[in-house]
A and B are shown apart, each in its own frame.
Chain A
């Protein structure tokens, strides 16, 4: 029997705003299966988001949902979590939202290691505003604001998160819908700040300008260029060139922020 997504969706809010061929619907379905698979109570589930295509997702989910300002979802999420640590807080946003305008909040949430699950939808472009280059747009790629090719350097979001101190970091793609669901589950279950970077296609904003206009072609590209972490570690630098690792990239046990705070100040 087909999986019933309706129980986690708000009645009457679909169709969503995403373009045909956008990868974000695949991510939403993986998120729903993950939270359902963990048996999470919708009353205790909070989604926060910033601004952009990805950030419209919480509006579709039947939970406590907070669509905030551009890049600021982690700030709001921190307030919610500190006020009520018993809530499960998932903060999400796109590559521009989380790593450009929200970059400072992102690295500090990683450093703080607060028990929030952060999902970064990386489609290499500012989609909602029509295709401007973002901190993850590949070098030389075309965007409306890089008509001669992108001169800027790329962020590796997962590496950024690891460097900043996140205690769980994983990467997936929209090709890997089932493994993605499992990684999201692991991220939610992890105590501390967890990041899952999810590579997704934006045929409208990115693909059309970069000879990748077919949604299926973009997913094929994800399949062809992603390498499981175990395999990745065995590859030479030459073999790794142009590809990226997926799976759990980093996991460590370290004190969670609110638990540490409560213990310090005598609240626990």
Chain B
């Protein structure tokens, strides 16, 4: 039977993905260009027994999102630009206390109020390093409206499976564009729910990891009375000043993500088998890159696309395959050079030339710009 096809806006597709994943709570604050996510979920959530609240600011929105998850609901918030900066405090709390949730960041120009209605990709480093302290991070970078839906589901799955806030790092172009989307039916996409404890409540240790590095998480009000704190804590959840134990726990948290690289990191590689030039592109920029590569291939240039759908953890392992193989890597991104720093870290000394295309003028990086760059080295 033919699947239902809908013509959706990117932000709308995020909502469809969230509902598919079983999200029943949204706390947010209006901000361009993410506001449609709030508007649509305000209308849709009650129809699935969910609730929506517009909080007094982004800080409270992040707090309420975590609170909703702690009480057992899959929870979402969406924001952009300055809103994402404000989320950082409680996002850090979410990392340390290992509370699953999804944060959509529809990237715009910045810093500060910046260029609120245009696209940007300048939050790549913020998604990893934005809050203080050491912590693992997961951020996904869809390029199409279909992927907005599917990657939102995947973001929830990763967050639930590994007890971690996951950032869907999209941008204004994909957030606001409209494309045909094949609507998944129940069962088409995997939906993961967090592990919950089955032990006797008196034996429950909320931070005692199982073999996968992740501890089962009890909902508040489910009979497992326990303590959650943003202080470094022991397996029983209570604070400890023991630096050695704090270090061991933070390393364990880092490893619960790095040990599952193969399950978390997804990269789309196109025309890379014989490639002498690699274009590393993500989000909306990857759309222009894809077209540029097709045009270059038509001219006989051996160029391929490396398109991470997971930008954090950085796709080191996938990228390393091209060490001492490609002659150039081109990294187009709507910032002054962020992802390229990571590409250089991974590929240092193994690729003769790693070049950026950087643009922060609120305009997309065009196919022609990327094609010209590809041809430059000829």
Q: State the A residues within 8 Å of B (CB).
A: 10, 13, 42-44, 46, 48, 58-59, 62-69, 72, 74-84, 86-87, 104-105, 108, 258, 261-262, 265-267
Contact = CB atoms under 8 A, between A and B. Distances in A.
19 contacts: A44-B221, A63-B225, A64-B220, A64-B225, A66-B227, A69-B63, A75-B90, A76-B67, A78-B27, A78-B53, A78-B63, A78-B64, A78-B67, A79-B63, A82-B67, A87-B220, A105-B59, A265-B46, A267-B49
Interface string B231-253: 10000001100000000000000
B46 A43 contact: no
Chain B interface secondary structure, helix, strand, loop or mixed? Answer: mixed
A66 B220 contact: yes
B59 A75 contact: yes
Nearest to A106: B56
Contacts of B225: 42-43, 62-65
Contact of A65 (B27, B49, B227, B231): B227
B60 A66 contact: no
Contact of B230 (A67, A83, A258): A67
Given A43-B225, A58-B227, A66-B220, A75 B53 contact: no
A75 B67 contact: yes
B68 interface: yes
Contacts of A105: 56, 59-60, 63
By CB atoms of chain A within 10 A, which of B53, B69, B221 has the most?
B221
Contacts of A80: 67-68, 70-71, 220
Nearest to A111: B56
In the A-B complex, the 5 residue pairs with the smallest Cβ-Cβ separation, listed nearest first, are: A79-B67, A75-B63, A83-B71, A79-B64, A265-B46
Contacts of B72: 83-84
By CB atoms of chain B within 10 A, which of A13, A48, A72, A86 has the most?
A72
B175 to A, nearest CB: 24
A80 B223 CA distance: 15
Contacts of A265: 46, 51
Contacts, number: 139
B73 interface: yes
Given A67-B228, A76-B70, A43 B59 contact: no
A86 B221 CA distance: 9
B229 interface: yes
Interface in B26-83: 27, 46, 49, 51, 53, 55-57, 59-73, 75
Nearest to B231: A67
Nearest to A47: B227
B261 interface: no
Contacts of A63: 225
A265 B43 CA distance: 8
B89 interface: yes
By CB atoms of chain B within 10 A, which of A63, A65, A80, A261 has the most?
A80
Contact of A87 (B71, B73, B89): B71
A79 B71 contact: yes
B25 interface: yes
Contacts of B62: 75
A14 B298 CA distance: 74
By CB atoms of chain A within 10 A, which of B67, B69, B73, B220 has the most?
B67
Contacts of B25: 79, 82-83
Given A72-B59, A87-B71, A266 B230 contact: no
Contacts of B228: 65-67
Nearest to A114: B53
A261 B336 CA distance: 45
B60 A104 contact: yes
Contacts of B57: 104
By CB atoms of chain B within 10 A, which of A10, A44, A75 has the most?
A75
A266 B60 contact: no
A106 B175 CA distance: 33
Contacts of A62: 225
A75 B72 CA distance: 16
A69 B228 CA distance: 11
A69 B64 contact: no
Contacts of A13: 238
A44 B219 CA distance: 11
Contacts of B56: 104-105, 108
A233 to B, nearest CB: 33
A38 to B, nearest CB: 17
A79 B68 contact: yes
A76 B63 contact: yes
B165 to A, nearest CB: 13
A75 B331 CA distance: 40
Given A105-B63, A267-B51, 11 more contacts: A43-B225, A66-B227, A66-B228, A72-B60, A75-B59, A76-B64, A78-B53, A80-B70, A104-B56, A105-B56, A108-B56
Contact of A72 (B90, B219, B227, B238): B90
